[in-house]
Amino acid sequence: MATEIQLEQRQGARRTPGLDAPMFRLRWFLLIAVVAPGATPLRAQLIQPNVIVSVRDQKLMFLDNGGNAAVYPISTSKFGLGDRWGSMATPLGTLQVAQKIGDRAPTGAVFHNRRFTGEILQPNTPGRDPIITRIIWLRGLEAANAHAYNRGIYIHGTPEEKTIGRPASYGCIRMKSSDVSALYAQLPIGAIVQISPDHLPKVSRAAKGTLVSAPASAPAPTHAVFTADSSKPGAEKASMTPLAPKTSVAPAKKSDTTAWLRNARA
């Protein structure tokens, strides 16, 4: 039975310190400036889109190119914070989106070693805790999170939705399937992810779980389309393509799932 602990690197419970407080305050200032009155277009282009993860709040904020925000409940590691091998902890600091896996996969699609198995789970399925729906693989940009990519630190969906809102993962950042799908659709390869032990910044335009439409002049977000084999090392070199307009998706039928899996293996 595939479980998250099999998919994430096994790590020990020792906590390691995060970034210095002044460095965090500087990054918070830059991120808040995007949505603050008078923020310049140049600054927004330099640091947008962005994701801020608050370990204290157990929430994730996504800021789009227009400075609009969406906030989602999450779950970080139940083993605390850090990046040491064997710690099973969530790393702090600045990371970026290195790969996106699961494009067009059905909601609840089970992944083992970043490959869709063909199985689909409903939320809170008893006794099951695999990685599902979407995988956003993170790469650390600092010494404090340098092992994040090789440890397999993801933002991903979980069937254990009843645990969302409190630390329950094995190092990754868990989200509800509907929420991780929405984030995946808007977040391009290379986007910055800031993981902080502090509260989320106050943003007046934040809408819980709902992303306000960006201005028409905002750049179209992009992402990479991955097949099953492209989850191997080096897949981050996959080509970038514009996101298609978001449409509602009906629950996947068995035939749809079979077709998706056949195409992924082609």
Check whether 256 has a pLDDT greater than 60: no
Angle, CA of 42, 241 and 254, to the nearest 5°:
135
Q: Which residue has the higher pLDDT, 87 or 224?
A: 87
Q: In a 3-state reduction of DSSP, which class is residue 255?
A: helix
Residue 49 is predicted with a pLDDT of 53
Instruction: State percent of the chain over pLDDT 70.
Output: 58
Q: Which residue has the higher pLDDT, 127 or 241?
A: 127
Token duo for residue 120: 């689909």
Question: Given a cut of 80, is residue 196 above it in pLDDT?
Answer: yes
Out of 46-55, 109-118, 186-195, 227-236, pick the least confident. Answer: 227-236
- What pLDDT is attached to residue 223? 38
Longest Cα separation, the chain: 54
The predicted pLDDT at position 86 comes to 92
Mean pLDDT, range 77-105, rounded to an integer: 97
pLDDT digits (tens, 9 = 90+) for 130-151: 999 999 999 999 999 999 999 9
Tell whether the model's pLDDT for residue 234 goes beyond 70. no
pLDDT value of position 68: 87
pTM for the full model?
A: 0.64
Whole-number pLDDT of residue 142? 97
> What's the rounded Cα separation, in Å, for the pair 254 and 118?
9
126 pLDDT above the threshold of 50: yes
- Look at residue 117 and give its three-state secondary structure: strand
8 pLDDT more than 90: no
Query: How high is the pLDDT of residue 232?
Result: 34
How many other C-beta atoms can be found within 10 angstroms of the C-beta atom of residue 236? 18
pLDDT of residue 32: 44
> CA 197 to CA 213: how far, in whole Å?
29
Q: What gap in Å lies between CA 74 and CA 168, rounded to an integer? A: 10
Confidence of residue 200 (pLDDT cuts 50, 70, 90): very high
Q: What domains can you pick out in the chain, each with its CATH number?
A: 4-8+19-212+248-265 (2.40.440.10)
pLDDT, mean of residues 239-246: 39
Reported as a single tens digit per residue, the pLDDT across 28-85 is 444 444 444 443 333 334 444 599 999 999 999 999 877 789 999 999 999 999 999 9
241 has pLDDT over 60: no
Report CA torsion sign: 128, 133, 139, 140: negative
CA distances, 195 to each of 50, 141, 160, 162, 188 (Å): 11, 12, 22, 22, 17
Nearest residue to 242 (alpha-carbon basis) of 216, 220, 219: 220
What phi and psi values does residue 203 have, to the nearest 5 degrees? -130, 115
